[in-house]
């Protein structure tokens, strides 16, 4: 059983690149569709705290949904609880791919960062 959880959106080119990278490295992972099985507010809260990253790093700031909802303006006025509930309401709002392991949590794909977490 792998302790690496890989949350991705199948149509995302970066997610495809990240999945290929994991496979090339011979890393076993649990694949989870970020839209069909969106992370819960509790999961996101735990991951954000464990990562040490600001909650904003977990938002897909380049996504259409983010722009549609004008979150660049709205997020600073929202409580952390409201932000977590919003993130959990739609997997398309979550930065992807998202790698979760006992060694670290990383939203977005950067091979150099993932190498630290996966090896």
Q: What is the pLDDT of residues 17-74, one digit of tens each?
A: 999 999 999 999 999 999 999 999 999 999 999 999 999 999 999 999 999 999 999 9
pTM above 0.85, yes or no: yes
Question: How far is 51 from 58, CA to CA, in rounded Å?
Answer: 10
pLDDT of residue 117: 76
Domain range summary for the chain, segments of one domain joined by +: 5-118
Q: Is the pLDDT of residue 3 over 90?
A: no
CA 115 to chain centre: 17
Question: How far is 60 from 1, CA to CA, in rounded Å?
Answer: 29
pLDDT of residue 115: 87
Q: Is the pLDDT of residue 116 over 90?
A: no
**Where does 5-118 sit in CATH, by number?**
3.40.30.10
Tens digits of per-residue pLDDT, 79-104? Answer: 999 999 999 999 999 999 999 998 89
Tens digits of per-residue pLDDT, 47-63? Answer: 999 999 999 999 999 99
């Amino acid at each position: 059983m792998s302790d690496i959880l890989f949350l991705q959106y199948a149509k995302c080119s970066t997610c495809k690149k990240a999945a290929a990278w994991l496979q090339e490295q011979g890393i076993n992972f649990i694949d989870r569709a970020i839209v069909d099985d969106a992370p819960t507010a509790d999961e996101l809260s735990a991951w954000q705290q464990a990562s040490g990253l600001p909650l904003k790093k977990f938002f897909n700031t380049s996504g259409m949904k983010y722009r549609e909802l004008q979150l660049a303006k709205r997020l600073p006025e929202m409580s952390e609880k409201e932000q977590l509930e919003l993130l959990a309401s739609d997997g398309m709002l979550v930065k992807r791919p998202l790698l979760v392991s006992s060694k670290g949590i990383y939203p977005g794909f950067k091979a150099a960062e993932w190498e630290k977490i996966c090896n």
